Every structure is written in structure tokens, then in C-alpha cells.
Amino acid sequence: MQWAIVLLLAIVAPLLPGWTVFLLSVALAKALVVLGIGLLMRGGLVSFGHGMYYAAGAYGVAFAMKLMGIREALVLAVLGLVAGGLLASVLGMLLARYRGLFFAMLNLALSMMVYGALLKFYWVTGGTDGMAVRQATFGGFVPPAGLLRVAYFYLSLGVVAIVVSMAHRLVRSPMGYLLRALRDNEVRVNYMGGWVEQTIYRVYVLSGGLAGLGGSLVVLNVGHAVPDFAYWSQSGEFVFVALFGGYGHVLGPLSGSILFEFVRSYAYKVSPYTWQLLLGAMLALVILFLPEGLWSLVERRMARRDRWGWSWRPSS
Amino acid sequence: MGVVLETVELTKYFGVVKAADGISVRVEEGELVGIIGPNGSGKTTFLNLITGYVRPARGSIWYRGKDITGLSPRVVTRMGIARSFQIPQLYGGLTVLENMLVALAIRAGRSGEFWRPLQEDARLEEAMQTLSEFGLEGAAAQGVSSLAEGERKLLDVALSFALKPRLLLLDEPTSGVSVKDKFEVMDRLVRVLKSSGVTTVFVEHDLDVVMRYAERVLVFQEGRVIADGPPGIVLSDAEVKSAIVGTG
Ligand SMILES: Nc1ncnc2c1ncn2[C@@H]1O[C@H](COP(=O)(O)OP(=O)(O)OP(=O)(O)O)[C@@H](O)[C@H]1O
Ligand SMILES: [Mg+2]
């Protein structure tokens, strides 16, 4: 299934207008962040601060270019992953102990500190101007101007394909189930000898890494890292999309992210002052009528055909 | 026959309530011990103390020669003490089978594994095997929230049994089971426990059940053990009877 979608996107992309390809690339990259947030949500944890890892990836790329002269796209993407993961591995030591509102708000608080730091240390980070990111190279080559967008798109698509299939394995693995189990009943996990904090910590670092990866891919596409990447409204948007697309399935974040980017940019064009109204209404409808997200529509169809293969929701 | 569990002067007050008031008990390998006592006499607290959910104010807990006082439930469970709960503690969003598979994966130390599926053949087989020992194989694909209370109770016991503990603590394993099924469920349970040889302590409200299945009974009252011995002797004691019937 995910491969069919990847193939479809890969084939149609070069035929689409440039701005559509750009929008798709950004949506795919952001889907990685949403996927990470969705994994946490499976454990019952909502983070309103993942913008900081997203920013860590973006600024990681900017610094790697500026200070180390690294321009290879794939290397930069990996550096973004590492930057997000590293920051999460430090903050996760504190956060893995918290649940519910405390977890959500602590993430928010920490992300505001990151945002503040990006503004404050302007002689390093460029302050509100941010940092420019130059064109990346692919295997040492700079793609010709007309193909750059498509090259970035294929990079994002490739990364997303790999990450989605790995996430798909993860959610069906013991660790994926433990995440759901601890959301349901932490006491029981302890009484089975399972380690709740450790599991949360690992997933948290993973989600931070994915956010960093997403940030690095976005910044390559847009060519500019700004503090807004870490701003709370950006973090909120990721949570929004996770709910919108649905985090019960690994393809939920992907479809949600693509739809979100397109609706936003179309609605903005048609009606610059009411696009939030439209998006809000759409999310409200999804929450009311499809509480497990847009993707659950597709899943319901699939469930009839293939009971065990695809759905990871309980069969009840 | 070694001593599996020994508590020394375990004490815990909740405000003025004496939930544990100097409990000294010794359980030998392979024993099947029943605990009886009126509501609020400290039976559940005793299990909570042993498993590290509640810390004693005074006293110590020894498991197979090791001092386990103050260890966390996770560590205590890893050492080989499993328990079931008065109110079943299950994973409400998972099926019966998935609940069991999670228990088996954790027991095997595989809960950090993220690459292979939870539903591996060998694990599935053991899960179904264990479920059928408890008569739950028919409900395997059911979500646990749709189970009857008696079945939830049984699954809770089955999950702790699946951890292959050396000491099993059961908190009122038949409390949600209807009166007419009670003995059938206990028959099955005791058969499974006996064939595995696991040392078991079970809390039970029902005098008849304790009489019939326990090899030894501890009578709790206001956080103290007021009698300890074979059920036939202990439960015919007039003072014990009035303690249980009077307040319970
Ligand atoms: N965490 C707690 N905080 C405050 N009081 C508690 C706590 N746990 C138990 N108690 C009190 O300690 C006393 C003993 O409770 P416990 O649950 O051990 O009794 P029990 O013998 O299991 O009763 P039952 O037969 O109703 O299950 C009760 O008065 C109870 O209200
Ligand atoms: Mg009790």
C-alpha cells in the first residue's frame, strides 16, 4: 500500500507544476514530524513543542553548510536527524517522567526557550532574519535549476518511504504495542516488569529525530531557517495535522500533511482572511465524525479485506 | 523446601488506619496460601507492600533470601514475583490475545524490540496455549473491554501467571465470578497452579473457597495476622469466625 502511493507520487511528480512539487516536498517533509508526534500520541503523550526539534534540524543544516561547508543533501538530512535526536535525548531525560498536560506544557515551555535563544543570540543565528541555506548537491552534482525542485522532491519521497515502512514495522513490534499498553495502563506495564520511562524516552528521542529530519528537508526546500520553526504555533500545527490525518496508521500523517498543505495554500489564495476558519472547520468535522482521523476512512475499507495485515487497531 | 517469602514486622498506617500492623509471615516453596479477612483488614495492602507499590513505614520483606524492601514493582516483578489485582488491570485498547502477547514479550525481555512483529509464531503459540489453560482461547480476538467481569478477572490472573513467576500473588481471583461458577473457576485455577508448582498466595473473601482450596490460611484483622494454620483448624476457631463474619 505505502509503496503504491510512493510509486504514484514518484511518477506524477515531474508532470506537475513546479509549485505543486514544492508544496508536496514540504508536505512530505512535515509528515515526518507529524509521524513522530503520532508515535508519541499512541503512547498517550501529546507534545506542543516539537517545533524545537524541527528547528534543530533546520538550523543544523544551516550551520553545517555555513561552518563545515557540507552541501550533500543526504548528509545534511542525516545531520538534521541527528540534531533533533540529540536535543531530544537531552530533554527527554526530563520529559519522560511527565504525562498528560504536564508533558504537553513542558514541551511547549522548552520550545519557547529554544525560540527565544534563536532570537537572542542573533549574532550566531541571525535573529529574526534567520539563516540562509544554499542549494544542496546530489552525489556532488548541483542539479540544473529546472530540476532542483524535483530532485528535492525525490529526496523527500525516498526518505518518507523508508521512514514510513520502518514506522509500520515499529508499531507492530513489541515496542509499538508496549507504547499502546502503557497508554492504557502504566501500572500493569510495571507489574509485568516492563520499563515505562525507558520506552517513552526511546520513542521521544525517535520523534525528536524525525522532527529534525523533517526540518532539514523543509529548510533545503525553502532555503531559509527562521526562529518561527520553533514557535508554538508551528508545534501546534503538527499536532493539528496528526489529529487531522490520524495517527492510528502510519499513512495518516502523510495523507493529513499533504491535504493540509494544499488546503492551506489554496484557501489562502482564494480567501486570505478566512483560511484558518476553513481549516478549523475541517478539523472540527474530522474530530466529530472521524475521530481517528482522515485515514480511518481508507482503513475501514481495507479492514474488510485484510483483517490482520494493515489495521493495528484492536479488532473490537 | 526453601523459604520463598518472609515479611518481618511490616507496618504501614494510612493516617489512623492500621493497614499493616506488624505483619510477620513466612511462605515456603510450593505452598498454596489463602488470606481471608473482613473488608479493610489490610489484605490488598499486604500485597501492595510485598510488590513495592506501597512502602512500609517499618519492617522488611525478604524474597528467596534477598531483602527486597523498597524496590519498585518493576524490579520486584523482574525478580519473579507476579500479582493479579482485585480490580483487573488490563490493556483496555488491546485484544485478549494482544494483552497476553505483550506479557510474553516483556517476560522475554523483548519489549524494546522494534523490528520484528509482536505476533511471532512461537509467541502466538505460547499465548494461545496459556489462554486455553485458563479457558480463554475462545475470547482471544475479543477486545478486553467487551469481556464479562469474570473473564477479565481470569485474564488478569492469566497475565500474571504467564510471566512464569516463582511467587504468585492473587487478589480475590474469583470476586467478579458468579457464585455458581466460582468453584469451577477455582478448580481450573488450582489445577493450573498446582501443575506448574508455583508458590501462590491468594486473597479470598469466600470462606468456602478458602476452606476447599487453601492448604494454609492467614486470617487478617485490622492489619494484623490473627490466625495462621490449616483451614480446617483455623476456620473452626470461634474467635476467627466472629472476626470474619462479624465485620466482614
Ligand atoms: N493508598 C491508600 N491510601 C489511604 N488509605 C488506604 C490506601 N490503601 C488502603 N487504605 C486503607 O487501608 C485499609 C486497608 O485496605 P486494604 O485495601 O488493604 O483492605 P482489604 O483487606 O484488601 O479490603 P477489601 O476486602 O475491601 O479488599 C482500608 O481502611 C483502606 O481504606
Ligand atoms: Mg482488597
The per-residue pLDDT for range B191-205, each reduced to its tens digit, is 999 999 999 999 998
Does A109 fall in a domain?
yes
Instruction: Point out the domain boundary residue: B146, B164, B182.
Output: B164
Q: What is the CATH number of the domain that holds B15?
A: 3.40.50.300
Chain B residues inside the 8 Å CB shell of A185: 89-92
Residues B20 and B69 placed together within one structural domain of the fold = yes
Gap between the Cα atoms of B154 and A39, Å rounded:
31
In a domain, B66, yes or no: yes
Whether B101 and B151 map to the same domain: the answer is yes
Is A173 in Cβ contact with B115 (below 8 Å)?
yes
**Do B140 and B183 belong together in one domain?**
no
Decide whether any atom of ligand 1 lies within 6 Å of the B13 Cβ: no
Residues of chain A with pLDDT > 90: what percent?
67
Domain membership of residue B12 (yes or no) is yes
**Are B149 and B95 in a shared domain?**
yes
Sequence-ordered list of residues with C-beta below 8 angstroms from that of A224, at least 6 positions apart, any chain: A130, A131, A132, A133
pLDDT for position A99: 93
Q: Is the CB of B40 under 6 A from ligand 1?
A: yes
Q: Identify whether residues B241 and B197 lie together within a single domain.
A: yes
pLDDT band for position A159 (50/70/90)? very high
Q: What is the pLDDT of residues A91-120, one digit of tens each?
A: 999 999 999 999 999 999 999 999 999 999
A285 is a domain residue = no
Distance B39 CA to ligand 2 centre (A): 7
Q: What is the Cα–Cα distance from A117 to A134, expressed in whole angstroms? A: 23
Please check whether residue B48 lies inside any domain of the structure.
yes
Is residue B77 within 8 angstroms of chain A, CB to CB? Answer: yes
Same domain, B4 and B73: yes
Choose the weakest-confidence range: A187-191, A224-228, A299-303, B145-149.
Answer: A299-303
Among B148, B164, B180, the domain-final residue is B164
Does A27 reside within a domain? yes
- Is the distance from the beta carbon of residue B12 to the nearest atom of ligand 1 less than 6 Å? no
Cα–Cα distance measured from residue B229 to residue B6, given in angstroms and rounded to the nearest whole number = 16
Distance from CA of A10 to the nearest CA of B (A): 27
The domain total for chain B is 2
Same domain, B106 and B160: yes
Residue B86 counted as domain residue: no
Same domain, B65 and B175: yes
Range of the domain at A38: 2-231
Q: Is residue A151 part of a domain?
A: yes
Which ligand is in closest contact with the Cα of B220? Answer: 1
Residues B215 and B149 in one domain: no
Q: Domain span at residue B117?
A: 91-164
The mean of the pLDDT values for chain A is 90
- The DSSP letter of residue A15 is G
B231 located within any domain: yes
Is residue B158 a contact partner of residue B211, using CB atoms and an 8 Å limit? no
Residue A309 is predicted with a pLDDT of 44
Which pLDDT belongs to residue A248?
A: 85
Residue A99 lies in a domain: yes
A70 inside domain: yes
**pLDDT by residue (tens digit) across B99-115?**
999 999 999 999 888 99
pLDDT at A210: 98
Domain total for chain A?
Answer: 1
Nearest to A206 by CA among B114, B44, B5: B114
Determine the distance in angstroms separating the CA of B239 from the nearest CA of chain A, rounded to an integer: 36
User: Is there a domain that residue A11 lies in?
Assistant: yes
Tell whether A125 is covered by a domain.
yes
Same domain, yes or no: B173 and B194: yes
Chain A residue with minimal CA distance to B48?
A191
pLDDT, position A308: 45
Written as one letter, the residue type at A217 is L
- CA–CA distances in Å: residue B110 to residues A43, A312, B120, B213: 18, 19, 12, 36
Asked whether residue A311 carries a pLDDT value surpassing 60, the answer given is: no
Contacts of A162 in chain B (CB under 8 A): none
Domain check: are B134 and B169 in the same one? Answer: no
As a whole number, mean pLDDT of residues A270-284 equals: 83
pLDDT tens digit string along A37-58?
Answer: 999 999 999 999 999 999 999 9
Residues of chain B below pLDDT 70: 1, 245-248
Same domain, yes or no, for B173 and B244? yes
Q: pLDDT above 70 covers what percent of chain B?
A: 98
Tell me if chain B has a CB within 8 Å of the CB of A266: no
